[in-house]
Copies of this chain bind each other. A is one copy, B any other.
Amino acid sequence: MAVKNAGIRDVAQLAGVSVTTVSHVLNETPHTRVSEDTRERVRHAAKTLGYGPNRMAQALRTNRSGLIGLLSEEIATTPHAGRIILGAQNAAREHDLTLVIINTEREADGTSHREDVQALIDRQVDAVLYATMYHRTVSLPPNLQGIPAVLIDSTDRAGIVPAVVPDEVGGAVAAVAHLVEAGHTRIGFLNNDDDVPATHLRLAGYRRVLEENGIPFDERLVLSAPSETLPGYGLAREMLGRSDRPTALFCYNDRMAMGAYRAAAELGLDIPRDLSVVGFDNQELIAANLFPGLTTVALPHYEMGAWAVETLVRLLHDDADPRRLSDEPTLLDCPLVVRDSVAAPRTD
Contacts and interface: CB of A to CB of B under 8 A. Distances in A.
A185 B10 CA distance: 72
Interface of A: 1-3, 52, 54-57, 59-60, 63-67, 75-79, 81-83, 85-86, 89-90, 93, 98-103, 119, 121-126, 146-147, 228-230, 233, 255, 258, 262, 265, 283-286, 288-289, 291, 302
Given A56-B56, A56-B124, A285-B286, A76 B65 contact: no
B86 A55 contact: no
A21 B21 CA distance: 39
B56 A60 contact: yes
The 7 lowest CB-CB distance pairs between A and B, nearest first, are: A76-B82, A56-B59, A229-B289, A76-B86, A56-B60, A285-B285, A75-B82
A288 B259 CA distance: 12
Given A76-B83, A77-B82, A289-B286, A89 B60 contact: no
A75 B76 CA distance: 11
B103 A86 contact: yes
Contact of A76 (B55, B79, B119, B125): B79
A100 B98 contact: yes
A64 B54 CA distance: 12
Contacts of A283: 285
A286 to B, nearest CB: 6
A3 B146 contact: yes
Contacts of A262: 291
Given A57-B60, A86-B76, A258 B289 contact: yes
A125 B55 CA distance: 10
Contact of A81 (B82, B102, B126): B82
A108 to B, nearest CB: 15
Contacts of A289: 228-229, 255, 258, 286
Contacts of A233: 291
A1 B127 CA distance: 7
A126 to B, nearest CB: 6
Given A255-B289, A283-B285, A122 B89 contact: no
Nearest to A302: B76
A265 B284 CA distance: 22
B89 A85 contact: no
A54 B125 CA distance: 11
Nearest to A254: B285
A66 to B, nearest CB: 8
B79 A77 contact: yes
A61 to B, nearest CB: 9
Contacts of A83: 76
Contacts of A64: 1
B79 A103 contact: no
A89 B119 CA distance: 13
Nearest to A60: B56
